[in-house]
Structure 1
């Protein structure tokens, strides 16, 4: 069964907000872009807006869909829907107790993300190059 997940790169001033996955979760100990599972019949953008409010305490003002990726981890199949969130209100924080930090876009490639996120990391790193 495919699990649909919405994830967002929260961007401000050339940095991206990332969170460390709990060691108890699938792919635990790796960094992630905040977001979460889509509920039944929930569109990915709506899921991301809901999850970012719950997980990092922000209200999304503007988001752009980037692309989706299907990935089979062997024990779990996911379809990740990636977004860029460049306008929001509130200050992102680890509302669920997770470790979080702002990372310069050019240093994003130095962090370990789940395999399904690699294309999005490459895409975001390319955004940095386009702005230089």
Structure 2
């Protein structure tokens, strides 16, 4: 049986030299780990529109633009995801855990101190390469 690929818009929210991350709820897929915020792209929705909707719902910001960082596919045993990762630095509002989730602004060189899902390793590498 072929696994369905879940397309996800991911925002690397950047302010100065810090990035905004959130902790996944324990009952979610990859629960208890830190992540860059975002969510599932709905049928017919553009990556930017999905990012705009998800970041407003999840962390309470309004984004005006984004730039592609990378796209990666990762096969967890129970789910296959295609992450469309964009850098977001042009936004309004104060990023916060709008759904009650723990969150933090973290310096780029401190990302290794946080436990992320395996799919995020490539994102962190790309961020470090871009901002070294």
Shorter-chain TM-score bucket reads over 0.9
The CA deviation at 1:126 is 2.1
State the 4+ residue runs in structure 1 displaced beyond 2 angstroms.
Answer: none
| Correspondence for 1:84 | 87
| In 1: Cα distance, 2:44 partner to 2:77 partner | 25
| In 2: Cα distance, 1:125 partner to 1:111 partner | 15
- Runs of 5+ unmatched residues, structure 1: none
Q: How many residues align?
A: 129
Aligned-residue CA RMSD (Å): 0.8
| Correspondence for 1:98 | 101
State whether residues 106 and 128 of structure 1, in contact with CA within 8 Å, keep that contact through their aligned partners in structure 2.
Answer: no
| Correspondence for 1:63 | 66
| Correspondence for 2:125 | 122
State whether residues 8 and 48 of structure 1, in contact with CA within 8 Å, keep that contact through their aligned partners in structure 2.
Answer: yes
| TM-score of the aligned structures, taking structure 1 as reference length | 0.94
| In 1: Cα distance, 2:107 partner to 2:44 partner | 35
| Candidates 11, 14, 21, aligned match of 2:14 | 11
State whether residues 108 and 125 of structure 1, in contact with CA within 8 Å, keep that contact through their aligned partners in structure 2.
Answer: no
State whether residues 69 and 126 of structure 2, in contact with CA within 8 Å, keep that contact through their aligned partners in structure 1.
Answer: no
User: Relative to total residues, which structure has the larger helix share, 1 or 2?
Assistant: 1
